[in-house]
Amino acid sequence: MKSITCLFLLLICFAMTVTVSAQTASDQSAQATAPAQQLDSDTELRKAIESSGGSETQIIINLENYLKKFPKSEHRQEIENEVYKLAVKLRDRDRVISYAEKLLDANEGNIDALTNLVTMLQQRKGQDDLNVALTYANQLVRQFEGIIASSIKPKRISAAQWEERKQQGLASVYLLRGRVYADLGNDEKAKADLTKSMGASRTAGAALVMGELAEKRKALDEAIEFYTKGFVIALVTNEEIDLKAIRQKLSQLQTAIKGSETGLGDRLLKTYDAYIKERDERLAKLEQPNINEGANSALDFKLTKLDGSKLDLATLSGKIIVINFWATWCGPCLTELPLFEKTMARYKDDKEVAFLAITTDEDRELVAPFLKQHKFNLPVAYADYLNDFFKVNSIPTTIILDRKGEVAFRQAGYNPRTDFTAELSERIEEAKKR
């Protein structure tokens, strides 16, 4: 649904382009040919999106037909990016490969495109496909290692959390390349990458491929060890692994060695206990104190403002509080924030209503430059777990609290088909009457 939402936002932009083009054609008749062509192109694009009926498959078909008709469209790259996202969501393997390669033509360091290319090429399992997958996997590892080496820790998170994120990323790319090596029959390089993956962060996938390699070497006891680790990790983390198939594999191997399943249960329990202990120790290092832990109401929260001072929401008790959750990286937020600011201006003299723009950015250093760049004049504060309290799972999200601090209105996501300012104003007035 996220991609469809983005397309609707694009549609608005295209509609604006059409309006401007039409005006230009009216005012500058001597140059009517080029605006007319643009008008026709944008009209066709709008039809392509509108006629899809919300079907993601149909959107892809319509947009591809549009690009065939208008191969030099100024929106081509943007449209190809959207088709790629939809193809990934629909697991359309051939389209993912095709459009990911287009993305790499524009940006050879695109991590997402490289990852999906390797994954989809590996799934086809043809020798040529695997060789190409290995080329991209090598590029992915080099790119990711370079990013890790040059990246700077965001101030919002602890050193332990930052290290955990880096290690998880490294584990993923080494696992991806290790699988390609395994499919190509290069067991030694596969083992080397999988060992790196497991050393960086425990994943069921790496353990299971290591089990396959051990079984291939007839090292059955070693295979059981790795399959057991993979089974336990998947059980705890809910990784998408066929647990039934792995359980059957363990039974077969244990029987081949011992003549029965005797001892397998104890082995599984021992591995489980060891993994849980390791996991708990790791999580303990990542915990950060929650300054608002135990808050029973939004009015119990104390938030950090942009200038570092504290805002006690209890001081706003008795007022209507209008809260917008946003982030610097959120495209729809950038569209909605000016409308939120416009609504705030309507109520600038209303002492009954207070507005808050709550950023969910982890890297707080990004916020002030973002606000300055876009010339926003908003009462900004950091979330400080307020988003968790309200279970905000998507942004932008707008929440209105009544005078008692109870939720009077909630809207998740930006809807371009409604008048946000008018809708929000109406909801504020309704909250006043509660």
Decide if pLDDT at 11 tops 90. no
Helix orientation angle between 204-216 and 187-200, rounded to the nearest 10 degrees: 150
pLDDT digits (tens, 9 = 90+) for 45-103: 888 888 888 789 999 999 999 999 999 888 889 899 999 999 999 999 999 999 999 99
The answer to whether residue 359 is domain-embedded is: yes
Q: Work out whether strand 320-326 and strand 310-312 pair parallel, antiparallel, or are unpaired.
A: unpaired
Q: Give yes or no: residues 215 and 263 share one domain.
A: yes
400 pairs with which residues across the strands?
A: 322, 409
Decide if pLDDT at 215 tops 50. yes
pLDDT digits (tens, 9 = 90+) for 171-206: 999 999 999 999 999 999 999 999 999 999 989 999
* Domain extent at residue 268: 202-286
pLDDT digits (tens, 9 = 90+) for 232-249: 999 998 888 899 999 999
Q: What is the pTM of this model?
A: 0.62
Question: How much of the chain is helix, strand and coil, in % rounded to 5?
Answer: 65, 10, 25
Q: Give yes or no: residues 328 and 386 share one domain.
A: yes
Last residue of one domain, picked from the residues 220, 253, 286: 286
Q: What percent of the chain has pLDDT over 70?
A: 89
Q: Give yes or no: residues 235 and 319 share one domain.
A: no
pLDDT digits (tens, 9 = 90+) for 108-132: 889 999 999 999 999 988 999 999 9
Last residue of one domain, picked from the residues 225, 254, 286: 286
* pLDDT band, residue 5 (cuts 50/70/90): very low
Mean per-residue pLDDT of the chain: 87
Q: Give yes or no: residues 363 and 273 share one domain.
A: no
Arithmetic mean of pLDDT, 305-318: 92
Q: Give yes or no: residues 324 and 408 share one domain.
A: yes
* pLDDT band, residue 157 (cuts 50/70/90): low
- Choose the weakest-confidence range: 281-290, 330-339, 350-359, 397-406: 281-290
Considering only CA atoms, which of 81, 80, 17, 79 is closest in space to residue 43? 17
Q: Give yes or no: residues 282 and 305 share one domain.
A: no
Arithmetic mean of pLDDT, 383-399: 89
Residue 9 has a pLDDT of 45
Instruction: Enter the DSSP assignment of 218.
Output: T
What is the spatial distance between Cα 131 and Cα 125, in angstroms, rounded to a whole number?
10
The answer to whether residue 270 is domain-embedded is: yes
Q: Give yes or no: residues 423 and 310 share one domain.
A: yes
The answer to whether residue 368 is domain-embedded is: yes
* pLDDT band, residue 163 (cuts 50/70/90): confident
What is the spatial distance between Cα 186 and Cα 320, in angstroms, rounded to a whole number?
65
Residue of 285 and 333 predicted with greater confidence: 333
H/E stretch holding 174: helix 159-184
Query: How many domains does the chain divide into?
Result: 2
Neighbours of 128 (CB within 10 A): 9
What is the spatial distance between Cα 2 and Cα 12, in angstroms, rounded to a whole number?
16
Q: Give yes or no: residues 357 and 247 share one domain.
A: no
Last residue of one domain, picked from the residues 227, 255, 286: 286
Decide if pLDDT at 289 tops 70. no
The answer to whether residue 83 is domain-embedded is: no
* pLDDT band, residue 14 (cuts 50/70/90): very low
Domain containing residue 325: CATH number: 3.40.30.10
Neighbours of 377 (CB within 10 A): 9
The answer to whether residue 376 is domain-embedded is: yes
Q: Give yes or no: residues 316 and 421 share one domain.
A: yes
Dihedral angle computed from the Cα positions of residues 434, 394, 285 and 288, in that order, rounded to the nearest 10 degrees: -30
Q: Give yes or no: residues 309 and 419 share one domain.
A: yes
* pLDDT band, residue 16 (cuts 50/70/90): very low
What is the spatial distance between Cα 126 and Cα 91, in angstroms, rounded to a whole number?
18
* pLDDT band, residue 288 (cuts 50/70/90): low
303 pairs with which residues across the strands?
A: 311
Decide if pLDDT at 362 tops 80. no
Q: Give yes or no: residues 280 and 373 share one domain.
A: no
233 contacts 239 by C-beta, under 8 angstroms = yes
Helix and strand totals (H; E) in the chain? 17, 7
- For 35, half-sphere exposure in the C-beta direction (CA atoms, 13 angstrom radius) is 16
The answer to whether residue 4 is domain-embedded is: no
Residue 15 has a pLDDT of 40
Q: Give yes or no: residues 257 and 312 share one domain.
A: no
Residue 22 has a pLDDT of 39
